[in-house]
Chains A and B, each alone.
Chain A
Amino acid sequence: QLQLQESGPGLVKPSETLSLTCTVSGGSISSSSYYWGWIRQPPGKGLEWIGNIFYSATTYYSPSLKSRVTLSIDTSKNQFSLTLTSVTAADTAVYYCARRLYSSAQFDFWGQGTLVTVSS
């Protein structure tokens, strides 16, 4: 069974950089059948798509976050990562990593999510 697990600091100071990693087990991140994505949910708000990355490192980013977001992938470790720079309190959210089919738009497997709080 495929599993995804987010990891990273739970507290980040304003203006600093948020970095999270998603470790995939039970399947290969190098498959050409899937994208790997990040989605977040601020407290009391809905889901917000952050970006997708393919095993070849092709990326797609949310237009509203594009200037601050970078996704990367490490096929040797079966991991992909999110970096968000210049964070503010508005970036406080539960961050999820998920798998998306290459040929369709649905996210079929999700991590449990990790809460990241931006505060001094």
Chain B
Amino acid sequence: QSVLTQPPSVSAAPGQKVTISCTGSNSNVGKNNASWYQHLPGTAPKLLIYDNNQRPSGIPDRFSGSRSGTSATLGIIGLQAGDEADYYCGTWDTSLRAGVFGGGTKVTVL
């Protein structure tokens, strides 16, 4: 059971939009900035979003992030076949004094 809750899967057709939620509590997402990672099988996870809504250099603006209260959201627009991957949210939990991740969401491009 992950500290952060994500939907197991989302799907959409090419060119469409998907959103992935990450629900936590006042000791993690509600208190500390969230980050998002894209994970393709056999590769290292890639940082997509940090500080809730910032993109590292090289990440296209099709990817966006937001936070409201104790939930963070990742949005992907203009969905492409190459976006098929597992996506994870993560942050620090102040009460646990530990890093925490969501359970992951598999994005399928129909």
A binds B: yes
A interface residue numbers (CB < 8 A to B)? 37, 39, 46-49, 52, 60-63, 96, 100, 104-108, 110-113
Shortest 10 CB-CB contacts between residues of A and residues of B: A49-B99, A106-B35, A110-B44, A106-B50, A46-B104, A105-B92, A47-B101, A46-B103, A105-B91, A108-B47
Residues of B within 8 A of A96 (CB): 44-45
Residues of A within 8 A of B46 (CB): 110
Give the contacting residue for A105; candidates B39, B43, B88, B90; CB below 8 A.
B90
Overall SS of chain A's interface: strand
- Report the separation of the CA atoms of residues A104 and B49 in the bound assembly, to the nearest whole angstrom: 12
Interface residues of B in 65-110 (CB under 8 A from A): 86, 88, 90-92, 96-104
Overall SS of chain B's interface: strand
Q: Which residue of the partner chain A has the closest CB to B47?
A: A108
- Report the separation of the CA atoms of residues A60 and B96 in the bound assembly, to the nearest whole angstrom: 10
| Nearest-Cβ distance from residue A59 to partner chain B, whole angstroms | 11
Given contacts A104-B51, A106-B50, 9 further A-B contacts (CB under 8 A): A46-B103, A52-B99, A62-B99, A63-B98, A105-B35, A106-B35, A108-B50, A110-B44, A112-B43
